[in-house]
Copies of this chain bind each other. A is one copy, B any other.
Amino acid sequence: MKLSDNVQACHLSPIRKFYPFAMDAELSGKKIYYLNIGQPDIETPPIFFEAIRDYSSKVLAYAQSPGEPELIRSIRRYYRRLGVNYNREDILITTGGSEALLIALLCIIDPGSEVIVPEPFYPNYDTFVKAAGGRIRPLETFAAEGYNYADRGRLEKLINENTRAIMITNPNNPTGNSLTEKQLRLVTKVARDHGLFLICDEVYREFVYDSDKIFCAGKYRDIDKNIILIDSVSKRFSGCGARVGMMISRNQELMAQALKFCQGRLSVATLDQVGANALYSLDPSYFDKIKAEYKRRRDVCYQKLSSIPGVVCTEPKGAFYMMAKLPIDDAELFQTWLLTDFEDNGETVMFSPGKDFYATPGKGIDEIRIAYVLEEDKLARALDLLALAIEQYNKR
Closest CB in chain B relative to A333 CB, distance in Å: 21
Q: Is the CB of A260 within 8 A of B12?
A: yes
The 5 A-B pairs with the shortest beta carbon distances in the complex, nearest first, are A241-B270, A127-B264, A13-B263, A60-B241, A98-B265
Q: What residues of chain B lie closer than 8 Å to A53, measured between beta carbons?
A: 52-53
Q: Is the CB of B260 within 8 A of A107?
A: no
Q: What residues of chain B lie closer than 8 Å to A253, measured between beta carbons?
A: 3
Q: What residues of chain B lie closer than 8 Å to A2, measured between beta carbons?
A: 108, 110, 164
Copies of this chain in its oligomeric complex = 2
Name A5's contact: one of B6, B65, B110, B131 (CB within 8 Å).
B110
Q: What residues of chain B lie closer than 8 Å to A270, measured between beta carbons?
A: 241-242
Give CA–CA (A164, B259) in the complex, Å: 27
Q: Is the CB of B7 within 8 A of A106?
A: yes
Closest to A13 in B: B263
Q: Is the CB of B254 within 8 A of A267?
A: no
Q: A4-B113, A272-B272 given. 18 additional CB < 8 A pairs?
A: A1-B108, A2-B164, A3-B107, A5-B110, A7-B261, A10-B257, A13-B264, A37-B62, A48-B60, A60-B239, A95-B95, A95-B243, A111-B111, A124-B264, A124-B265, A127-B260, A127-B263, A269-B269
Q: What residues of chain B lie closer than 8 Å to A213, measured between beta carbons?
A: none
Interface size on A, residues (CB 8 A): 86
Given that A108-B2, A241-B62, A271-B272 are contacting pairs, would A96 and B7 also be in contact in the complex, using a CB cutoff of 8 Å? no
Q: Is the CB of B264 within 8 A of A241?
A: no
Name A263's contact: one of B4, B12, B62, B111 (CB within 8 Å).
B12
Task: Verify if A61 is at the interface (C-beta below 8 Å from B).
Answer: yes
* Chain A 268-303 interface mask (CB, 8 Å, partner B; 1/0): 111110010000000000000000000000000000
Interface residues of A (CB under 8 A from B): 1-8, 10-13, 15-17, 19, 37, 39-44, 46, 48-49, 52-53, 55, 58-65, 95-96, 98-99, 102, 106-111, 113, 124, 127-128, 131-133, 164, 195-197, 225-226, 238-243, 251, 253-254, 257-261, 263-272, 275
Give CA–CA (A106, B304) in the complex, Å: 43
Give CA–CA (A311, B33) in the complex, Å: 67
Q: Could you tell me the dominant secondary structure of chain A's interface residues?
A: loop
Q: Is the CB of B8 within 8 A of A266?
A: no
Closest CB in chain B relative to A193 CB, distance in Å: 13
Closest CB in chain B relative to A379 CB, distance in Å: 16
Q: Is the CB of A55 within 8 A of B62?
A: no
Q: What residues of chain B lie closer than 8 Å to A95, measured between beta carbons?
A: 95, 99, 243, 265, 269
Query: Could you name 30 residue pairs across A and B whose Cβ atoms are closer than 8 Å?
Result: A1-B108, A1-B195, A2-B110, A6-B110, A6-B133, A10-B264, A13-B65, A13-B260, A19-B64, A39-B62, A44-B58, A44-B59, A44-B60, A46-B58, A48-B60, A52-B52, A52-B53, A52-B271, A60-B242, A62-B240, A62-B241, A95-B243, A124-B266, A243-B243, A243-B267, A243-B268, A269-B269, A271-B271, A271-B272, A271-B275
Q: Is the CB of B110 within 8 A of A263?
A: no
Name A106's contact: one of B131, B254, B257, B266 (CB within 8 Å).
B131
Q: What residues of chain B lie closer than 8 Å to A13, measured between beta carbons?
A: 65, 260, 263-264
